[in-house]
Amino acid sequence: MASRAEQFQVLVTGQPQNSLFRFSLAQALLNEARAAESVPHFEFCVASKSDWMMPRILLGKVLLQLGRTTEAKPLLGAALQLAIEQQHEEPERELRAILADI
């Protein structure tokens, strides 16, 4: 039986410009402990929609996990700004804590 990532990879292969398929694939890769492989898919999502907060948060966290703090910080800062603008209090608190630690 195919893993979730394999299932979403089939969808992404069929529709590579579909940002929702890419986001789902990236999340599935994270859940399968394949964080580095999720990066290009999260990057695609970040580039596809300027007000999409979640891919910025998740990509920032992945980059931190991979030791790429310099790349993560502006993404997390942008996600924080979106959380504030969109009145998402819990992500705002989480992002403030993450940014305070790096």
Residue among 4, 74, 57, 56 at smallest CA distance from 34: 4
What are 64-76's pLDDT values in tens digits?
999 999 999 999 9
What are 12-53's pLDDT values in tens digits?
999 999 999 999 999 999 999 999 999 999 999 999 999 999
Residue among 76, 73, 70 at smallest CA distance from 93: 76
What's residue 1's pLDDT? Answer: 85
Band (pLDDT 50/70/90 cuts) for residue 55 is very high
- What is the value of pTM for the model shown? 0.95
Residue 58 has pLDDT above 90, yes or no: yes
Q: How far is CA 90 from CA 33, 53, 62, 79, in A?
A: 25, 12, 19, 12
Element at 72 (helix H, strand E)? helix 69-85
Number of helices followed by number of strands (H, E) in the chain:
6, 0
Tell me which architecture the domain covering 4-101 has in CATH: Alpha Horseshoe (1.25)
